[in-house]
Amino acid sequence: MKKLIFVNFNTDVLKFFLTSLFVMGSIVWTIQAVKFFDFVTNDGHGIKVYFLYIILNFPKILHRILPFIFFISIFYTIIKYEQKNELSIFWLNGINKINFTNKLISISILFMIAQILIGNFVSPPSQLKARNILKNSNIDFFGKLIKEKKFINTAKGLTIFINEKGNDGLFKKIFLEEKRVNTSKIIIAEDGLLIINNNQKIFKLRNGKVINNENDKINIFEFDIINFDLSKIITNTITVPKIQEIHTTALLNCIFDLPSKENDFECKKEVNNEIKQ
């Protein structure tokens, strides 16, 4: 009888826990999804990249809210049993408060183990995969980010200014600056057309001049038509994995100076304190 009573209690806790975890997780996930929409509106990534990224961040949300939801579930179930006088069934069947408390501790340990497993073996690989999706993705919405009379620096090392954008997709009075290590390039053109498809991603510019500055040596030339390659531009989105996105075994290997198989993670002594935390 005692076993049946605890099975019923555990079932009630689990039902409320799973329901609350799904509801609360969905709310937090929706808020995060709105926050991450900047990847599309500001950074130029496609809708597919956006959805994959936010879906892969869901395990992180579950890992963080799990203890809070578990506490609420235990608290709610005990209060419900108290209001319905169902706790008296425990005492009438010889279950004292020490036994009841021990069972709660046992359940808590199981949920703690579940959280540790999610936090060590599910959430980090999921977040790392999401980060790699951003790293390997193209700026698919680049054309839609270009607005009139506004400097656009979505791509790393690249600034674009368009004075006028026609209904036919033709840009007029274009200023483009590309910066690299020890070099910079400025392109000024009368007009241009953005061509982005599966085969090519170029900015076709007409009637302008190019100013190259390489190691403090400047050369200038004019052009009738020039194609500026957009396929190699890099987004400003942070693509370097964070510590909490690295697999636990890689972090332990870093602390004990063992070889790691994580290619995206560089073990440095400066981050050892952060890793231990």
pLDDT digits (tens, 9 = 90+) for 23-77: 999 999 998 888 777 665 555 566 777 788 888 889 989 998 999 999 999 999 9
More confident residue, 264 or 54: 54
Q: For a pLDDT cut of 70, what percent of the chain falls above it?
A: 81
Quickly state the pLDDT bin for 19 (edges 50, 70, 90): very high
Output the pLDDT for position 11.
92
Long-range contacts of 78-84 (CB under 8 A, 24+ apart): 80/12, 81/9
CA 139 to chain centre: 16
Neighbours of 155 (CB within 10 A): 20
Highest mean pLDDT among 13-22, 91-100, 227-236: 13-22
More confident residue, 111 or 137: 111
Judged against a pLDDT cut of 80, whether residue 90 lies above it is answered with: yes
Quote the CA–CA distance of 274 and 277 in Å, as a whole number.
5
Output the pLDDT for position 255.
76
Quote the CA–CA distance of 19 and 119 in Å, as a whole number.
21
Residues 6+ apart with CB under 8 A from 44: 139, 140, 141, 142, 144, 145, 154, 155, 235
pLDDT digits (tens, 9 = 90+) for 161-218: 888 887 777 888 888 888 877 788 888 999 888 777 666 678 889 999 998 888 778 8
The predicted model gives 114-142 an average pLDDT of 76
Quickly state the pLDDT bin for 238 (edges 50, 70, 90): low
Highest mean pLDDT among 220-224, 238-242, 267-271: 220-224
The predicted model gives 79-83 an average pLDDT of 90
The HSE-up count of residue 184 (CA atoms within 13 Å, CB side) is 10
